[in-house]
Structure 1
Amino acid sequence: MATNMSKKRKFVADGVFFVELNELLTQELAEEGYAGVEVRVTPLRTEIIISATRPQNVLGEKGQRIRELTSVVQKRFSFPDDAVELYAERVSKRGLCAQTQAESLKYKLLGGLAVRRACYGVLRFIMESGAKGAEVIVAGKVWG
């Protein structure tokens, strides 16, 4: 990320970086239960912490997948070598993460489960995880 610019431009540039990074990781890690990203900028390097329900799949076999993601991020955002570090962490309460539950509902519906049954299953899991309340809205053309 750039250093010699006005505060407004830096704020916008950081926001654009975060959005593009989030979009890239959402596409790459949808099946691994991607739940979000946290970016920490230090003087020596930029640390990117990926939250997922299955971090072992994000890491890959012997760390292969995380190294591939690191190189993709380095090339896409023009980081110098060894200036970016990616980490994967497990989502602490999967049932309280909206993004994770939306992905779960998506895969249930794509798997052919009836809409009402899929929604009730997701809602039950959310409530068992300790939520005070939740609302699931499914819109558009759906069968079942």
Structure 2
Amino acid sequence: MSVSKNLPVYKRIIQEGWRKAALKEFLSKYLERAGFHDVKLVETSLREIITIYVERPGIVIGKSGKLSKKLTDILKERFGFENPYIRAEKVEEPFLSARIIAHFIASRIMRGEKHRRVAFMAINRALSSGARGIEIKIAGKFGSQRAREERFRAGVIYRCGEDVMSHVDYAVEHILLPQGVMGVRVRLVKPIESMPDRVLIKEEKIAEILERIKAEKEKEEVEKVDHEENVSPEGNEQ
């Protein structure tokens, strides 16, 4: 799956994008136990630096680096990397990752826990971590013959515009149960300070405007008094 440098630019861009997508899909399954979140690929003239963001980096490295060496060999053989260098970075807030939340819900349901209890637990942990909003959809058979979908939502959810591209994280997870396949979809709004729909009131600006209005009002009153003193009772100016 190596990308040839002799290809036209547009074909090279397509192949590089396809390889990154395939790499992300492979790592999400291979590092499922580690709590995979995302991967970043930086190619230099000497090596390919692959930064993997996970909940538990120790599982990626392994004892004495054995698991990372095994993963390096797999990436060389499967994706055509010549000299890959793997870095494992810990996700500081796991419940601000839609992929980690979806895997958390799926694993808890696989253990036999009630889906509603798990969904509300995930929502509470996401909001306490600072998320602006979260939506969870669980579809499948919940003890009946007909499949249905249940939604759990809290906070603000963006569905269109630039906000979706910049501030919304989305993930899907599937579970194979005795009654059939169940799907878990998570939409998470990241904790961003400045949002288009968020109104911030600056107290210092309000105080500054009030002081300016007060000073202008006092100036007008002083000018009015001076004008009245300079006018005689008969209406003639002195």
TM bucket normalised to smaller? over 0.9
Q: 2-side partners of 1:130 and 1:106: how far apart?
A: 22
Can you list the C-alpha shifts for 1:65-110, whole angstroms capped at 9, x where unaligned? 1110000000112233xx1111111012211110011000111110
Q: Which structure has the bigger radius of gyration?
A: 2
Equivalent position of 1:45 in the other structure:
47
Distance change in 2, residues 1:113/1:143 (3 Å): farther
Equivalent position of 2:9 in the other structure:
7
Distance change in 2, residues 1:15/1:143 (3 Å): farther
- Given that residues 48 and 81 in structure 2 are in contact (C-alpha distance below 8 angstroms), is that contact kept between their aligned partners in structure 1? no
Equivalent position of 1:131 in the other structure:
131
Matches within 5 A, 1:1-144: 1-80=3-82, 83-143=83-143
Q: 1-side partners of 2:127 and 2:14: how far apart?
A: 37
Q: 1-side partners of 2:142 and 2:123: how far apart?
A: 18
The runs of at least 4 consecutive aligned structure 1 residues that moved more than 3 Å come to none
> Between Structure 1 and Structure 2, which shows a larger proportion of strand residues?
2
Q: Which has the higher contact order (CA 8 A, sep 6+)?
A: 1
Local SS of the residue matching 2:53: strand
Q: Report how far residue 141 of structure 1 moved.
A: 1.7
Equivalent position of 2:147 in the other structure:
none
Local SS of the residue matching 1:92: coil
- Given that residues 114 and 143 in structure 1 are in contact (C-alpha distance below 8 angstroms), is that contact kept between their aligned partners in structure 2? no
Local SS of the residue matching 1:32: coil
Local SS of the residue matching 1:35: strand
- Given that residues 40 and 52 in structure 2 are in contact (C-alpha distance below 8 angstroms), is that contact kept between their aligned partners in structure 1? yes
Q: 2-side partners of 1:142 and 1:73: how far apart?
A: 39
Pairs aligned (count): 142
> Between Structure 1 and Structure 2, which shows a larger proportion of helix residues?
1
**TM, length-normalised to structure 1:** 0.93
Q: 2-side partners of 1:64 and 1:6: how far apart?
A: 38
Structure 2, unpaired ranges of 5+: 145-238
Structure 1, unpaired ranges of 5+: none
Identical residues among aligned pairs (%): 28
Can you list the C-alpha shifts for 1:31-86, whole angstroms capped at 9, x where unaligned? 11011110001111111111100001111111111110000000112233xx1111
Q: 2-side partners of 1:71 and 1:39: how far apart?
A: 17
Q: 2-side partners of 1:34 and 1:50: how far apart?
A: 8
- Given that residues 50 and 87 in structure 2 are in contact (C-alpha distance below 8 angstroms), is that contact kept between their aligned partners in structure 1? yes
RMSD over aligned Cα atoms: 1.4
Local SS of the residue matching 1:39: strand
Local SS of the residue matching 2:134: coil
- Given that residues 34 and 59 in structure 2 are in contact (C-alpha distance below 8 angstroms), is that contact kept between their aligned partners in structure 1? yes
